[in-house]
Structure formats: C-alpha cells, structure tokens
Amino acid sequence: MSDATLFLMVGLPAAGKTTRARELAAAHRALRLTPDHWMIPLFGDSMADGKRWVLEGRLVSVALQALRLGTSVVLDYGLWGRDERSALRWLARWCSATCQVVYLPVEKEMQLARIAARRETAAHETFPMTEADLDGWRPQFEVPDAAELGGGELPEPPPGWGNWGEWAADHWPSCLDG
Ligand SMILES: Nc1ncnc2c1ncn2[C@@H]1O[C@H](COP(=O)(O)OP(=O)(O)OP(=O)(O)O)[C@@H](O)[C@H]1O
Ligand SMILES: [Mg+2]
C-alpha cells in the first residue's frame, strides 16, 4: 500500500461536501477535485450535454496519477450511486491506495436553508436549485452501506463487466487514459 488515501465525498446537494472536502484537503495535504468548479467556468452548466461525465473522467485520471505519486486525493463528486463508489474504491486499490467513503447526511430543511445562504455568498460556485429539484433528487440517492463506510469487501461488478475498471471506463469516458 502507498500512503495515499482517496477520500470519496458522498451526499446530496448542500450536504456540506465541498466545505468538508476543503478541510480534508488541508489536513491531509490532499488534492481536491470538485467538478462543479470546472463545469461552471467552462460551460456555465452542470451537465453540458454529457460533458460532465468526460470532465469527471479526466479528473479521475488526474486522481489516479496523484495517488500513484503518493498524494492523497479528495474526490468531491457527490457519488449518489453505489456502483460509482464501488468503481472508485476498486480503482484506489488498483493504485495501491487506501479509500475512505465520507458520507454527509442532510435533511431537506437544512438543504433549503444552506442553498439560500450559499446563493448570497458563493453563487459563482453553484447552480440554482429549487425545492422540486431536491424532492426529485433524494429518491435517486443510494445511502452508503456499512461495508462501504467501513472499507469492507467490494461487490461484484454488474453483469457484463469483467471488473470495476471496465465499468468505470464506460461510466466516465477517458478516466483510464493516462
Ligand atoms: N457543517 C456546516 N454547518 C453550517 N453550514 C455549513 C456546513 N457545511 C456547509 N455549510 C454551508 O452550507 C452551504 C452548502 O455547503 P457545501 O457547498 O459545502 O455543500 P455541497 O455538499 O458541496 O453542495 P453541492 O452538492 O451543491 O456542491 C455552504 O454555504 C456552506 O458554507
Ligand atoms: Mg459542492
């Protein structure tokens, strides 16, 4: 194992991921990768016709390079899906790094309050979000289970995939291109 750790920030919008990610990056001298802070200056849009997945893939590639160099990384992606998290946990092992899932739960009332406050103070770092958006997103979020939080065994990749690296390369185009 290298000394490097891959921190995976997991949580719904306004859960406090980027705030905690900044703290972790400072505490562990880690590289923080926050896709929103690239999507907004580049495209002014969170998805940009799917370019988000390419951008996230390029940032995963940067993350893997850093881990191999012994630098810890904070991946500030949200990671709503268990498959995404499993793939990144697998990739961390592939790079001989440790992986830590950092889950930040948040209730809807807190989300609304924080989103309103953030629009006042840091509108350039985020996108507009309505209460209807929040209601639609919450059921899509897969809460991390005990194995994920405790660094337990990885599940098998979905049928059709030989390993999680192949799944990741399909989900995040170009994530394995050096
Ligand atoms: N522990 C906390 N206590 C109080 N306020 C907080 C806390 N964590 C974050 N905030 C505030 O809540 C707002 C949202 O936090 P942050 O931007 O870190 O969330 P996020 O999970 O990164 O959201 P997004 O998914 O939209 O990027 C910010 O204005 C931040 O200052
Ligand atoms: Mg954020």
Ligand 1 pocket member 11 (CB < 6 A): yes
pLDDT at 123: 82
Which-ligand-closest: CA of 13?
A: 1
> How many Cβ atoms are within 10 Å of 9's Cβ, its own excluded?
25
Distance from C-alpha of 10 to C-alpha of 79, rounded to nearest angstrom: 5
For a mutational test of ligand 1's pocket, the pick from 19, 77, 104, i.e. the residue with the most ligand atoms closer than 8 A to its C-beta, is 19
Ligand 2 geometric centre to CA of 35 (Å)? 8
Ligand 1 pocket member 165 (CB < 6 A): no
Ligand 1 pocket member 118 (CB < 6 A): yes
Instruction: Identify the CA nearest to 82 among candidates 15, 134, 157, 21.
Output: 157
Ligand 1 pocket member 114 (CB < 6 A): yes
The pLDDT profile of the chain, 178 residues, written as one tens digit per residue, is 678 999 999 999 999 999 999 999 999 999 999 999 999 999 999 899 999 999 999 999 999 999 999 999 999 999 999 999 999 999 999 999 999 999 999 999 999 999 999 989 988 888 889 999 999 999 999 999 999 999 999 999 999 999 999 999 999 999 998 7
Length of the chain: 178
Tell me which residue has tokens 């697998």. 90
H helices of the chain, in order, are 17-28, 36-43, 51-68, 82-94, 108-121, 131-137, 146-149, 164-171
Q: What are phi and psi of 160, to 5 degrees?
A: 100, -10
Ligand 1: nearest atom to the Cα of 127: 26
Look up residue 124 and give its two tokens.
Answer: 């350039």
3-state secondary structure string, 83-120? Answer: HHHHHHHHHHHHCCCEEEEEECCCCHHHHHHHHHHHHH
Q: Which domains does the chain have, with CATH numbers?
A: 5-171 (3.40.50.300)
Ligand 2 geometric centre to CA of 159 (Å)? 32
Burial 67-83 (b: 16+ CB within 10 A, else e): beeebbbbbbbbbbebb
Report the nearest-CA residue for atom 25 of ligand 1. Answer: 13
Q: Is 155 helix (H, G, I), strand (E, B) or coil?
A: coil
Q: How far is CA 158 from CA 84, 101, 170, in A?
A: 11, 20, 12
pLDDT at 131: 96
- Taking the CA of residue 117 as centre, how many other CA atoms within 13 Å lie in the half-sphere pointing to its CB? 8
Which-ligand-closest: CA of 126?
A: 1
On whether the CB atoms of residues 121 and 29 are closer than 8 A, the answer is no
